[in-house]
């Protein structure tokens, strides 16, 4: 393993050619499953090594992954090239870490492209931000669903109130789910909203939060802190904005009061970045701003002691058993030492 000074990054093992780097999730055995536009990979932190995982049913870019009971992982959504056209992937599969294999399960409503997959306390997975474009709904519509691993069935969650695509998602201590912000249609554009909704698992429905966010943002990160509050950071004000439209705003949501409060500004504007809760209760934010990374701690942001080894337009991150953080993006990986 590389020696890394506290607050610094070092290059992790090279991601093999044709290996994916669009999604990652830590398995119960401590390894990390890495998926994306290429072959599935397993990262072994003890050896600092990537190796091939079993073949996926359908190779895809940008899949959603969520932990299931029994050392399994739900893989859904993403996109792939069919000839020269980019198409959404409707096939759903489950990865079994013990067998190192993927298997297909019945697909949900054809055409729904979900934006977030969230593992719940009862073992089900909440899929939100669904977006479908078809002849009946030419402008798309939002939908949500539940996946039950015991039956391998999807259930559409109805109701007029639905979270927006691009909402920041966090499971709260009372097992409800906060979905804050996202994008809504405004004329021919999609702009950020300050609306926040709460998913209630006992009712299988969504209700409005007691208060709106302080800022209208989509594609922000949401990180639950040890005291139960949620740090919401970064994002963008329109779905098609470039880096100039990224935000450095941040706020805290307190589930006990239902209130949002400011917590200062990030060092850099970020959207599509990663946010990782560290062992001491601080949060590492990396990606979407060159090689820079920063730490939120006790209400303030400050730059990490050293930058990432490579610029990443987006980033995914996994907290390892050692306390280090594996940060992946743009075909390469770093290790961060808190």
Q: Which of 53, 54, 127, 125 lies closest to 90, judged by CA?
A: 127
- The answer to whether the CB of 9 falls within 8 A of the CB of 311 is no
Residue 133 scores a pLDDT above 80: no
Q: What is the pLDDT of residues 236-267, one digit of tens each?
A: 988 776 777 899 999 999 999 999 999 999 99
- The answer to whether the CB of 238 falls within 8 A of the CB of 190 is yes
Separation between Cα atoms, residue 102 and residue 208, nearest integer Å: 37
Separation between Cα atoms, residue 273 and residue 199, nearest integer Å: 24
Please state the φ and ψ torsions of residue 243, each to the nearest 5 degrees. -60, -25
Any idea how long the chain is?
338
Taking the model in full, what pTM does it have?
Answer: 0.94
Q: Which of 35-44, 135-144, 325-334 has the lowest mean pLDDT?
A: 135-144
Give the Å distances, CA to CA, from 187 to 168, 179, 193: 23, 23, 14
Separation between Cα atoms, residue 317 and residue 335, nearest integer Å: 10
Q: What is the pLDDT of residues 134-183, one digit of tens each?
A: 444 445 557 899 999 999 999 888 888 999 999 999 999 999 999 999 99
DSSP per residue, 57-118: SS--BS-EEEEETTTEEEEE--EEEETTEEEE---EEEEETTTTEEEEE---STT-B-SEEE
Separation between Cα atoms, residue 74 and residue 56, nearest integer Å: 12
Separation between Cα atoms, residue 54 and residue 97, nearest integer Å: 10
pLDDT of residue 112: 57
Q: Which of 302, 304, 311 lies closest to 325, judged by CA?
A: 304
């Amino acid at each position: 393993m590389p020696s890394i000074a506290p607050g610094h990054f070092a290059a992790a093992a090279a991601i093999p050619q044709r290996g994916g780097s669009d999604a990652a999730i830590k398995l119960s055995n401590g390894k990390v499953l890495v998926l994306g536009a290429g072959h599935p990979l397993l990262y072994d932190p003890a050896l600092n090594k990537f190796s091939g995982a079993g073949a996926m049913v359908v190779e895809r870019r940008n899949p959603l992954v969520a932990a299931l009971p029994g050392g399994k992982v739900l893989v859904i959504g993403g996109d792939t090239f069919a000839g020269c056209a980019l198409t959404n992937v409707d096939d759903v599969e489950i990865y079994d870490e013990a067998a190192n294999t993927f298997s297909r399960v019945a697909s949900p409503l054809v055409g729904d492209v979900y934006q977030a997959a969230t593992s719940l306390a009862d073992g089900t997975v909440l899929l939100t931000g669904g977006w479908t474009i078809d002849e009946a709904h030419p402008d798309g519509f939002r939908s949500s669903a539940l996946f039950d691993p015991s039956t391998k069935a999807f259930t559409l969650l109805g109701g007029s109130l639905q979270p927006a695509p691009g909402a920041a998602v966090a499971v709260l201590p009372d097992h409800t789910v906060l979905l804050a912000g996202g994008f809504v249609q405004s004329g021919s554009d999609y702009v950020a909203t300050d609306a926040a909704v709460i998913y209630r698992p006992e009712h299988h429905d969504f209700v409005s939060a007691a208060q709106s966010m302080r800022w209208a943002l989509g594609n922000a990160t949401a990180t639950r802190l040890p005291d139960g509050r949620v740090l919401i950071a970064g994002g963008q004000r329109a779905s098609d904005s470039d880096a100039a439209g990224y935000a450095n705003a941040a706020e805290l949501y307190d589930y006990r009061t239902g209130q949002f409060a400011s917590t200062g500004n990030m060092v850099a504007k970020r959207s599509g970045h990663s946010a990782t809760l560290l062992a001491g209760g601080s949060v590492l934010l990396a990606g979407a701003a060159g090689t820079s990374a920063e730490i939120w701690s006790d209400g303030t942001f400050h730059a990490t002691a050293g930058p990432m080894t490579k610029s990443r337009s987006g980033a995914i991150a996994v907290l390892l058993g050692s306390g280090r953080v594996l940060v992946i993006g743009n075909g390469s990986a770093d290790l961060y030492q808190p």
